[in-house]
Structure 1
Amino acid sequence: MVEKAKEQSGLDEDRLFEKHSGGIITYADVFISYSYRDDKIIPLALSLLLEKEGCKVYLPKLFSRKKGKTPTKLDIELTHSALSVSSSLVLVNGPETTRSQWIPWEIGFVAGKTGKVCVFDVGDDEKKPRNSEFLNLYPKIHPLESKIIVDNSKSIMDWVYDKDNLYK
């Protein structure tokens, strides 16, 4: 997916990520939460796949998430604004997820607002995050033939807008 997008746009991976991340939005079906310490190719590929399925996606920029930098008030306001207008959150659960200070806040915000949080596990069993039992509360998403399926039963868009099944 990313290779095709790079080829079509003529942009390298870094510029493609910049093009598809951040900005001011008025609504999003999905907010993608991820650790900047993990490879950014996964959140970018997930964003492109979700967009292909018709989702309006918000992929946060890296801004002050870098190690040793304190987030600015603007960073926090931009993230808060994006979370406020997002219907759901997909966590890219990579090896560095449990080290993120942003992810628990982002999950808590959307879980409290809409209850629509799901998890996309990345990596093999050896690289999966440890001490993240709370993530088992949320449904898992899986790519299936170029589509995103939630808990092997619903398309991502059906899940996002199903008001009867929170946390499922």
Structure 2
Amino acid sequence: MTTFTESQMRQRARSKTGGFRDATTVLKEEVASANKMSSFDIFLSHSTSDAQIILGVKGILEDYGKTVYVDWLEDPQLNRRHVTAATAEAIRNRMHQCSSLIYVHSENSKSSKWMPWELGYFDGFSGAIAILPVTKNGESFTGQEYLGIYPYIDEAPRIRSPTKEIWINKGVNESRAWDTWLRNPRAFRKTG
């Protein structure tokens, strides 16, 4: 399995932002110029401690033509540090505007209050969930046991074509292109 490294994501964020702006600056700029969207391809579930990494992930996904919801960019008024009914309702509404959820698993994921809740909620109504492991220095991915039922996201060259696309992997020998997976994501879950 290919994993994305923290350094790759930080480098991607630097290249996307010109190298001199931090996550807070990008946040302010995107909020100031944001065109509030009503639907997204991806709800990016992540730890807010990984802001710089998330900018890199978001940039890569956007390079593939995907629209990506990141709560602190689209809805900066939400206070995710405190679990409230109002914040939960806002996040639920946003999840319903998204076709899929990408769970960005990092070292910080286990301390997130929201990530397990987002995963469970999205699974209940959609099922289009994939794990994107971000590791340090290419380590192998080991997440909480419940993450093992979901496929993971990867980028790979398209067969017989020079273009690359996002792939969803059920295992080493079983993958589907993004659009094919999205048509029936529950059928492509890991079993056994």
Q: Distance in 2 between matches of 1:117 and 1:75?
A: 22
Among 159, 162, 165, which residue is 2:187 paired with?
165
Q: Distance in 1 between matches of 2:42 and 2:181?
A: 11
1:134 aligns with 2:146: yes
Equivalent residues in 2 for 1:29-40 (5 A)?
29-37=41-49, 39-40=50-51
Q: Is the 8 A contact 1:116 1:166 kept in 2?
A: no
SS at match of 2:115: helix
How many residues are paired up?
161
Q: Distance in 1 between matches of 2:92 and 2:135?
A: 29
TM-score (norm 2): 0.69
Cα distance, 1:74 vs structure 2: 4.0
Give unmatched runs, 5+ long, in structure 2: 1-11, 158-163
Q: Is the 8 A contact 1:95 1:128 kept in 2?
A: no
Q: Is the 8 A contact 1:117 1:138 kept in 2?
A: yes
Give unmatched runs, 5+ long, in structure 1: none
Cα distance, 1:23 vs structure 2: 8.0
- Matched to 1:160, the amino acid is L
Among 27, 34, 55, which residue is 2:39 paired with?
27
Match of 2:110 in 1: 98
Question: Residues 109 and 25 of structure 1: is their aligned pair in 2 closer, same or farther, counting only changes over 3 Å?
Answer: farther
- Matched to 1:6, the amino acid is T
User: What percentage of residue pairs aligned between the two structures are identical?
Assistant: 24
Match of 2:134 in 1: 122
Question: Residues 4 and 96 of structure 1: is their aligned pair in 2 closer, same or farther, counting only changes over 3 Å?
Answer: closer
Among 42, 59, 68, which residue is 1:48 paired with?
59
Equivalent residues in 2 for 1:64-103 (5 A)?
64-66=79-81, 70-103=82-115
Q: Is the 8 A contact 1:117 1:167 kept in 2?
A: no
What RMSD over aligned residues (CA atoms) do the two structures have, in Å?
3.1
Match of 1:149 in 2: 167
Question: Residues 165 and 30 of structure 1: is their aligned pair in 2 closer, same or farther, counting only changes over 3 Å?
Answer: same
Question: Residues 4 and 94 of structure 1: is their aligned pair in 2 closer, same or farther, counting only changes over 3 Å?
Answer: same
Question: Residues 155 and 11 of structure 1: is their aligned pair in 2 closer, same or farther, counting only changes over 3 Å?
Answer: farther
TM-score (norm 1): 0.77
**Which deviations, in whole Å up to 9, do the C-alpha atoms of 1:51-109 show, x marking residues without a partner?**
1212121111174233xxx2344432321111111111000001121222211111111
Match of 2:69 in 1: 58
**Which deviations, in whole Å up to 9, do the C-alpha atoms of 1:127-163 show, x marking residues without a partner?**
9666x10000000112336643211623334322346
- Matched to 2:168, the amino acid is V
Match of 1:14 in 2: 24
Question: Residues 120 and 163 of structure 1: is their aligned pair in 2 closer, same or farther, counting only changes over 3 Å?
Answer: closer
Of the structure 1 ranges 98-107 and 116-125, higher mean CA displacement relative to structure 2 is found in 116-125
